[in-house]
Amino acid sequence: MASAAPAADLADVATTDLMSELLHRMKCASKPDKRVILVGPPGCGKGTQSPILKDEYCLCHLATGDMLRAAVTAKTPLGLKAKEAMDKGELVSDDLVVGIINEAVKKPSCQKGFILDGFPRTVVQAEKLDAMLANQGTKVDKVLNFEIADSILEERITGRWIHPASGRSYHNKFAPPKVPGLDDITGEPLIQRKDDNADVLKSRLEAFHKQTKPVVDHYKERGVVVGLHAEKSPQEVSAEIKNALS
């Protein structure tokens, strides 16, 4: 159980923020628990759908790629271990990412369940996740499989801009920010990921097809996979997700 924030910290939080957090928690109390996995190649729309899903179902969003990038930026021991593989578009070791997820799901924000984004990416990771959940008497409820042709992804990836703190993503052509280079909500600068280029995308797609497709088969055997038409508009994909989770 996480300890409460010291009163001094809460005293510094604006009343309107505290009230909206309280209202959010009251709304969430009646939502059923859900453990959802998002599977799909880079640029398939997982990052666009995750914040929507997170708010709607009161889940925490755990994106191993985001967590690893934060560790690389902070130059933590974990980040130093992960950097080389990430720069080349290869997968980092199963033990490393499983360790990250094991810790992350203990956060209070994951109490109602979680959205796993970019994890599990190998069958070993899926088996370890299943074992961890079985230990807690739970299981994966749904795997949302973002199906899309590789040929569409290059344009989506090379034009992509990210707000690192929230995970919100933008696109030069398909979803430009109101002010170029700045996040719509916070006004903070957007970044382009180092591995969001055509060359590295090739290795990332190779890794995806080779190692991640078997993860989908693993969960198909358990009857929890739903295929999405990820080439459609974000609104249409959101509607498909709502259907899948209802």
Please name the helix (run of DSSP H) or strand (run of DSSP E) that holds residue 244, with its range, or none: helix 234-245
160-162 and 169-171 strand pairing: antiparallel
Q: Cite the beta strand spans of 25-168 per DSSP E.
A: 34-39, 60-63, 113-117, 142-147, 160-162
Query: What is the Cα gyration radius of the chain?
Result: 18
Nearer to ligand AMP, 89 or 113 (CB): 89
Q: Choosing from 46, 54, 128, 168, which is the catalytic residue? A: 46
Please tell me whether the peptide bond between 164 and the residue prior to it is cis, using omega within 30 degrees of 0: no
Please give the Cα distance from 124 to 121 (Å, whole number). Answer: 8
Nearer to ligand AMP, 58 or 162 (CB): 162
Scanning 83-91, 138-146, 157-165, 180-188 for contacts with ligand AMP by CB under 6 A, the matching segment is: 83-91
Cα dist from 72 to 66, 199, 230, whole Å:
10, 21, 30
Q: Is 85 in the site for ligand AMP (CB under 6 A)?
A: yes
* 35 a catalytic residue: no
Ranges within 184-243 binding ligand AMP (CB under 6 A): 204
The only residue of 38, 39, 71, 97 in contact with ligand AMP, by rule CB under 6 A: 97
Give the total of residues touching ligand AMP (CB under 6 A): 16
Supply the DSSP symbol for 208: I
The only residue of 113, 118, 167, 177 in contact with ligand AMP, by rule CB under 6 A: 118
* 204 a catalytic residue: yes
Answer for the pair 46, 117: CB distance below 8 angstroms, yes or no.
Answer: yes
Q: Is 45 in the site for ligand AMP (CB under 6 A)?
A: no
Q: Is 35 in the site for ligand AMP (CB under 6 A)?
A: no
Q: Which residues are catalytic?
A: 46, 121, 160, 193, 204
List interacting residues with ligand AMP (CB under 6 A).
Answer: 42, 64-65, 68, 85-86, 89-92, 97, 118-119, 121, 125, 204
